[in-house]
Amino acid sequence: MRSDMIKKGIEKTPHRALLKALGLTDKDIAKPFIGVANSYTNIVPGHIHLNQIADAVKAGVTAAGGTPFEFNTIAVCDGIAMGHEGMRYSLPSRELIADSVEVMAQAHRLDGLVLVTNCDKITPGMLMAAARLDIPAIAVTGGPMASGWLDGKKIGYASVPEGLGKHFAGKMSSEELSRLENAACPGCGSCNGMFTANTMACVTEALGMSLPYCATALANSVAKLRIAKETGEQIVKLTCNDVKPSAIMKKEAFENAIAVDMALGGSTNTVLHVSAIAQEAGVTLPLKVFDEIGRRIPHLCSMIPSGPYAMEDLHAAGGIPAVMKELSPLLNLNALSVTGKPVGENIADAKVLDANVIRSLTNPVHKEGGIAILTGNIAPKGAVVKTAAVSPNMLRHSGPAKVFDSETEAVASIRKREIQPGDVVVIRYEGPKGGPGMPEMLIPTATIAGMGLSESVALITDGRFSGATRGPCIGHVAPEAAEGGPIAIIKNGDTITIDIPNRVLKVELTEQEIKKRLEAWKPKPPRITKGYLTRYSPTPTE
């Protein structure tokens, strides 16, 4: 065991003395050392209950003959960070999380890891660390929040920013908005729809890195606590059998995870996160793989924000095992999982319990998956759109550009009702370097939706979108404006054409005109000049 390096032999007497200062006995020290990476914090609704889950994990570790050691990571709530400078820190926090788990596991020679996680950047950050470390590891995601209810209607977090848009459009009073605010988020857990946090939980389970039904079991349920305890027991088995993430996170497993993502119509952020995890695992996963899988995997689940069903509905319908059972002819069933069994065995007894929530392959919501990759002269290296959230009449759209060099400018213009039906809103200099940090654009997209413009106005950005975004919103445009990508030279009034079925995003300019504008383009000075985010800002030589 790795932990022998800090506990075995006479030369490790000083190390054992320190371990005994923790109250450990010789028997405790002789057992496998299991790290419990807990992202608990009381400022994030998705994480406020994770101490209870971590306690259940530790009980399982102890019961199975291991010695648990708990430590913490940071966690950013994207909803609280949304719409201000704080959102620039969200995506970069992923690397801090991965690094902190690596540091603790390596410094203390832990034999195995349980990753107690839940929200957008935390789950991928922890999986990145697991792949990098390649010691036995299992994730236990904290589970979704129950839906709120107002006037007999199911609501959730995404209802609130859209309600704000309605308020600015004069369609909702201050009193109605306040009632919505008070009812939308009834308790702990990740927000109730197929937003980034829950998409990543589902992807984690489909990847084989969490136990069956973990992704959809509600945060406040005893089912979640049982899964947590079973996870603690299972990690000891994996550690004793030396089953590492490299045996699980293979290309076939990533293809399964992407397939499930497509069937669920998940967040576009998974393209960023799954690619980063795959890179840490040494798996080549080019952008075209997402589009190829998206073309052959149908969209089966009409989930919030683009459909009526919440996470509790998906769980009651059979959860991720049932989704994978329906997709089984299209999956790699021999892929190994943290159960120690292949996917095919894990889902053998799974059943679809509600065919309205989990549609069949012969009766899908859409014939293709929920995410598409677009290219063209605006995005030579690609852009991402959540097709599951786009209405049929906006799959093809052409209109004049309304260009903004920041999210703040765009939101102010939208709220002043300066955006007209048919427009294409362009928000640039919000990419990984230009932002810096690639902030999410939920406030402008939700405001557009709330004002009733999502059927007539498109939005493109080199930033990214919240999983709660719906409508014809195209993000991750690459190269970004800060790197001199073509999005940097679009002007107000330029005609932009979007053709999602044919995967095209272009501005109606000649190659000569684009070249002329790019030659005249000059980089903007960095927004951030000190602190953590300067690592992501462009340097003067770039």
Cite the active site residues. Answer: 466
> Beta-strand (E) ranges in 4-64?
33-38
Name the CA dihedral angle for 210, 215, 217, 222, rounded to a multiple of 10 degrees: 30
Cα–Cα distance, 94 to 210 (Å, whole number):
19
CA 384 to chain centre: 14
Cα–Cα distance, 479 to 499 (Å, whole number):
19
Of 442, 438, 423, 428, give the one whose Cα is nearest residue 498: 423
- Token pair 């997402």 is at which residue? 290
Cα–Cα distance, 68 to 110 (Å, whole number):
10
388 DSSP 8-state letter: G
Decide: 62 and 48 in contact? Cβ < 8 Å.
no
How does DSSP assign 306-355, residue by residue?
TSSB-HHHHHHTTHHHHHHHHHGGGS-TT-B-TTSSBHHHHTTT---S-T
HSE toward the beta carbon, residue 242, CA cutoff 13 A: 2
- Token pair 């798996």 is at which residue? 283
Contacts of 13 (CB under 8 A, 6+ apart): none
Q: Which helix (H) or strand (E) holds 232?
A: helix 222-240
**Coil, strand, or helix at residue 295?**
helix
Cα–Cα distance, 248 to 503 (Å, whole number):
32
Cα–Cα distance, 83 to 28 (Å, whole number):
48
Decide: 94 and 121 in contact? Cβ < 8 Å.
yes
**What does R_g of the chain's alpha carbons equal in angstroms?**
23
Cα–Cα distance, 292 to 297 (Å, whole number):
9
Decide: 374 and 506 in contact? Cβ < 8 Å.
no
Q: How far is CA 240 from CA 27, 157, 346, 516, in A?
A: 16, 42, 21, 63
Q: Is the preceding peptide bond at 501 cis, omega within 30 degrees of 0?
A: no
Tell me the residue type at 512: Q
